[in-house]
Amino acid sequence: MTRFTLDRRRFLGLALAAGTALAARARTPGAGGVSLDEATLDQMAEGMKSGRWTAEGLAKHYLARIRTLDRASLHAVLEINPEALDIARALDRERGAKGPRGPLHGVPVLLKDNIDTGDRMQTTAGSLALVGARPPVDAPIVARLRAAGAVILGKTNLSEWANLRSSHSISGWSGRGGLTRNPYVLDRNCSGSSSGSGAAVAANLCAAAVGTETDGSIVSPATSCGIVGLKPTVGLMSRAGIIPLSHTQDTAGPMTRKVRDAAILLGAMAGPDSRDPATAGCKAHPDYTVFLDPDGLKGARLGVARAFFSGNRGVIALMEATLKALSAQGAVLVDPVDVPTADYEKAELEAMLYEFKAGLNAYLAGRGVTTPIHDMASLIEFNERMKDKEMPLFGQEYLYDAQAKGPLTDPAYLKALETCRTLSRQGIDAVMDKHRLDAIIAPTGTPAWVTDLVNGDNYGTSCATPAAVAGYPHLTVPAGFVMGLPVGLSFFGRAWSEPVLLKLGYAFEQATKARRAPKYLATLG
């Protein structure tokens, strides 16, 4: 396990050496000697159908890339599934005897390390406090992926405890996994908290990955790592068996290189679950690829949320070019529209701290007696006892704040929750009603910042909060580059509007084809 110190010069030196090595290793032959770089799920399915590839061959290919590319310096993957190759071989035999289960049959998928798997892997949220304690069963979304034929290849690193530990945290860092680096420029941050999932997909360490989001934790690493990220409507898929942060905002979601791949993964995971009451009104579709249309922008009314255009001149120039591309595809731009966030940002954190304590305590109780910590209080005590390993770079003030909160019946919590729900949902719904919009668009965020081991994160402008607090869907698609760093375009809108967002995002992707594979540069200069 790599440990990082506060020595900035040493950090840059390691990045330079790793960048040279990674650039030399980036293109590796795939299964059967054919390159799998940037391969889509459809291409993998066709390759396995034709006999060019096998599930076992795909798994071996990605495992080899993880051993070389990832372990050299990216540190996106925390743990490999020791049963992955056995599962892949069994799926190959099943394909030969019965045919494929669907488009995910034999496809290697990585999971964020806060998603339970009832196998020989651990689920730790990146914390040393949960090392050695394995969950008893799969999270429902994992069971769905396995039923669809996916090969669960391993677990990805993340911002520890989904980045709600310290106000000075470093995204992509965990006590268990160290720091995940951005494959485009190694001294840049991946953002978080689904840092490892974003980096792994960008670096072609898997066919696809699953992340989780509370506020920006899928879409922010997706834009920083130049991939597609979809945060679904809260309740579209089960959150049971996922280490919680906020039961009103948490959701898992797909992270892929292409929009169609995200639609395939979403269809496999979406659906109701008796363990998660939020899914009671779930409006899931078994196949989201039917909504994809290369002409999907024609006549679409898109609200341009100028408040999220950052002061970065490169981002502004890229977005102006993006707006022209959208118009050229027939979109009707309503420019500008106002989606306010300032009225509920403080209330969001207040509600989140209450929910984090209640949710984590309940989750840990369900993990059983083998778990070394059993509540927020014992987690805090563990971190203090292991502070040389758990807190060498930043503290745990958010854990103290959460521990000080009372039950979910507290008037302060109820008031904060009502403020969040009412203002965020009214903000999105009102502007969409007023302008008859199909979606709201904005740059997902600013380019990836230089990782700062002293001062912590520097997120810059992001449009993640409105949809996150409302529990509404949010899709980001690669839009281009600023100084060699990727920037995504966001589409967000009403609850259950995933079909609309996927249609729009797919049409934009097909028209622009903006994604480029990373080059593993050490630094920009």
Which structure tokens are listed for 494? 């009403």
48, burial (CB in 10 Å: exposed 0-12, middle 13-18, buried 19+) = buried
> Tens digits of per-residue pLDDT, 243-287?
999 999 999 999 999 999 999 999 999 999 999 999 999 999 999
pLDDT of residue 525: 74
Average pLDDT of 346-368?
Answer: 95
pLDDT of residue 90: 98
User: pLDDT band at residue 341, thresholds of 50, 70 and 90?
Assistant: confident
pLDDT of residue 311: 84
pLDDT of residue 480: 98
Q: What are the CA-CA distances from residue 366 to residues 47, 50, 131, 194, 409 (Å)?
A: 42, 45, 16, 24, 22
Global pTM value: 0.95
Given a contact cutoff of 8 angstroms between Cβ atoms, the answer to whether 27 and 519 are in contact is no
pLDDT of residue 31: 63
The pLDDT of residue 362 is above 80: yes
pLDDT of residue 89: 98
pLDDT of residue 13: 55
Average pLDDT of 88-97?
Answer: 98
Given a contact cutoff of 8 angstroms between Cβ atoms, the answer to whether 237 and 340 are in contact is no
Residue 417 amino acid letter? L
User: pLDDT band at residue 372, thresholds of 50, 70 and 90?
Assistant: confident
The whole-chain average pLDDT of the chain stands at 94
Which structure tokens are listed for 227? 């991939």
For 226, other C-beta atoms within 10 Å of its C-beta total 27
Least confident of 11-25, 53-67, 79-93: 11-25
DSSP notation for 185-222? BTTB---SSSHHHHHHHHTTSSSEEEEEESSSTTHHHH
**Is 217 known to be catalytic?**
yes
Strand partners, 143: none
Cα–Cα nearest to 360, from 341, 382, 385, 345: 382
**Is 497 known to be catalytic?**
no
Which one from 193, 194, 238, 490 is the annotated catalytic residue? 193
Whether residue 336 is preceded by a cis peptide bond, meaning omega within 30 degrees of 0, is yes
pLDDT of residue 35: 79
User: pLDDT band at residue 4, thresholds of 50, 70 and 90?
Assistant: very low
75: left (phi over 0), alpha (psi -120 to 50) or beta: left
Given a contact cutoff of 8 angstroms between Cβ atoms, the answer to whether 258 and 268 are in contact is no
Given a contact cutoff of 8 angstroms between Cβ atoms, the answer to whether 155 and 79 are in contact is yes
> Tens digits of per-residue pLDDT, 158-191?
999 999 999 999 999 999 999 999 999 999 999 9
User: pLDDT band at residue 225, thresholds of 50, 70 and 90?
Assistant: very high
Which one from 171, 174, 194, 217 is the annotated catalytic residue? 217
pLDDT of residue 1: 34
pLDDT of residue 8: 47
pLDDT of residue 101: 98
Residue 441's H or E segment, with its range, is strand 439-443
The pLDDT of residue 15 is above 90: no
Whether residue 127 is preceded by a cis peptide bond, meaning omega within 30 degrees of 0, is no
The Cα–Cα gap between 362 and 55 comes to: 38
Average pLDDT of 419-444?
Answer: 97
pLDDT of residue 94: 98
Percent of the chain past pLDDT 70, that is, above it, reads: 93
**Is 112 known to be catalytic?**
yes
Return the HEC string of 397-419: HHHHHHHCCCCCCCHHHHHHHHH
> Tens digits of per-residue pLDDT, 38-58?
999 999 999 999 999 999 999
Which one from 112, 155, 405, 503 is the annotated catalytic residue? 112
Return all residues near 228 (Cβ < 8 A) that are at least 6 apart: 222, 254, 255, 256, 257, 258, 259, 261, 262, 475, 476, 477, 478, 505, 509
Given a contact cutoff of 8 angstroms between Cβ atoms, the answer to whether 215 and 112 are in contact is no
Strand partners, 77: 156
Return all residues near 391 (Cβ < 8 A) that are at least 6 apart: 383
pLDDT of residue 342: 80
